[in-house]
A and B are shown apart, each in its own frame.
Chain A
């Protein structure tokens, strides 16, 4: 089903457009994507994230703050440690869809690619 066939499809308000763009902005840096990818596997501390991503502590903390500001990550206290996890399951879904987008092997897109190849050949 393509988006235009959805019955409840209304155009986004200007504010919603801005908000969606903000979320995409938060996802637009490789180091932030790497952190989110780690958090998909489960909650983690800053030191755990440093080990997993190979980034420095200041960089991890900084990117975590940006992710928290955009409500993609939340922090909770576990004793004296601070544990980070994905804000909710939407974030994981968003991530999964992005991965599907790059490793897209569904029939529809295969057909589209085939058509594109034909068009190029015809030219």
Chain B
């Protein structure tokens, strides 16, 4: 407004900069150096004008957008395309229902990162013990390697459409990934990622193009069937949309970006914007395939994402086919880059190695080398002639189904931990919503594990059984919660005090308060994990005996 006129006015609303005391790496403290702007550590002034608010938002934009759009990776695009081709617009409601779940989860991890300055893996070690931490890290790394494999397969399908051999496509993609991993500083990395995020929005013009070209749009609203394949597809959509690596990625990325509680409101907007865009992108892919194949012989016969691109050339237009291949290629690269980095962050965080994109290769060798190793493993798997690629997709879903329940339960417990989050703990209503969504996720993962490992199982019966069991457990927990003595709200209430509050040093925190709710939850997580692991083992034995 009248920015530089008149003498300086002393503002009583300035607060001290928030100092995060638990960071593991000195590079996690300092100025925010975002792709689109910079914020000084000492900048605690109020944001009065819309222009300053916008500049602040631009500087913060990044972690939320990247984590959300990386979510629509090769696996996501395939599943959405399959849903569109086989069920028309009949599964759109699943995406709409999942978007709030995505937002709630990611808002919580971003808050944990900004307030504590520690990554997700380290908080799990500190609050739930080394064993849970080691389990989470091991499963995450295996899952990440397999996810990068699926992304590289996405690259081969996309470049295969343009006639590029997989033995050329995979090394090129891997070289690009390694170049970004080894060469980029924080700002360069984030700019690369945001470019990929912008390109991923090409899914929206693609859908409009197909809508305009197709013309013959029938009654796409009615689901084609409601049998067990339908339920499985719903679960597969949920499984690819809510992925455990996202927790680890966004929390560490917020820490690495040096976002403090001072900027949490802007980080929430970042996450919200990402949620809206990822929803639009997924809906666009689903509708593209719904509109393009409805009423044709191809309706209901999904093969893979590469076949979708080839078929689009016939049913829609060559331009649509090219756009789809570009979107698929872009999604695979974005997904692989983010998943790779989440592995690097988690290793550094768990073992105490320096882990920041602000550091060059020679100052953070383990951090960068972890990423290179993950990409190398994935390349090797993809290029092995006759690699069991179908088994890998199954493996991703089984491992995710094993990791997601504990990760989401820990997330909710951490967000209710007054020692860690102080005035930033979840309000009661958010805990209630969170508990319901975590419950649904645990149930879905269990069904996913069962049906992935035993495809012949009766999905409907299992679903009913699992959800009934879950409802019982939730009701029991609700009773426990009601009988618990209520905590008094903390005295920190003004926004300025909250903005400067950070977690005390993690090793000085008192041990987590034992409550019946907490122990009951942990028992539940163990039971679920043992159940999934037993299933996995049974399946392996069965496969071994069956030959």
Query: Which one of B26, B125, B352, B353 contacts A25 once the chains associate, using CB atoms below 8 Å?
Result: B26
Query: Which one of B125, B130, B363, B505 contacts A29 once the chains associate, using CB atoms below 8 Å?
Result: B505
Establish whether residues A69 and B505, one from each chain, have CB atoms under 8 Å apart when the complex forms: no
Tell which of A60-68, A81-89, A101-109 binds the partner.
Answer: A60-68
User: Which residues of chain B are near A45, meaning CB under 8 Å?
Assistant: none
User: Which residues of chain B are near A25, meaning CB under 8 Å?
Assistant: 26
List the A residue with the shortest CB-CB distance to B133. Answer: A58
B:9-36 near A, CB below 8 Å:
24, 26
Contact of A65 with B505 at beta-carbon distance under 8 Å, contacts A18-B363, A22-B26 already known = no
List the A residue with the shortest CB-CB distance to B360. Answer: A15
User: Which residues of chain B are near A29, meaning CB under 8 Å?
Assistant: 505
Establish whether residues A66 and B352, one from each chain, have CB atoms under 8 Å apart when the complex forms: yes
State how many angstroms separate the Cβ of A16 from the closest Cβ of chain B. Answer: 12
Establish whether residues A63 and B363, one from each chain, have CB atoms under 8 Å apart when the complex forms: no
Query: Which one of A21, A63, A65 contacts B507 once the chains associate, using CB atoms below 8 Å?
Result: A63
User: Which residues of chain A are near B505, meaning CB under 8 Å?
Assistant: 29, 31
Query: Which one of B129, B353, B507 contacts A62 once the chains associate, using CB atoms below 8 Å?
Result: B507
> Does A59 sit within 8 A of B, measured CB to CB?
yes
Give the interface SS of chain A, mostly helix, strand, loop or mixed: helix
User: Which residues of chain B are near A18, meaning CB under 8 Å?
Assistant: 363
Q: Tally A residues with Cβ within 8 Å of B.
A: 17
Query: Which one of B129, B352, B507, B508 contacts A69 once the chains associate, using CB atoms below 8 Å?
Result: B352
> Does B93 sit within 8 A of A, measured CB to CB?
no
State how many angstroms separate the Cβ of A117 from the closest Cβ of chain B. Answer: 30
Q: Mark A26-61, 1 if CB is under 8 A from B, else 0.
A: 000101000000000000000000000001101100
User: Which residues of chain B are near A19, meaning CB under 8 Å?
Assistant: 363
B:457-504 near A, CB below 8 Å:
none
Q: Which A positions have Cβ atoms within 8 angstroms of B?
A: 18-19, 21-22, 25, 29, 31, 55-56, 58-59, 62-63, 65-66, 68-69
Of all A-B residue pairs in the complex, the 7 with the closest CB atoms, nearest first, are A65-B352, A25-B26, A59-B507, A66-B352, A31-B507, A69-B353, A69-B352
Q: Which B positions have Cβ atoms within 8 angstroms of A?
A: 24, 26, 125-126, 129-130, 351-354, 363, 505, 507-508
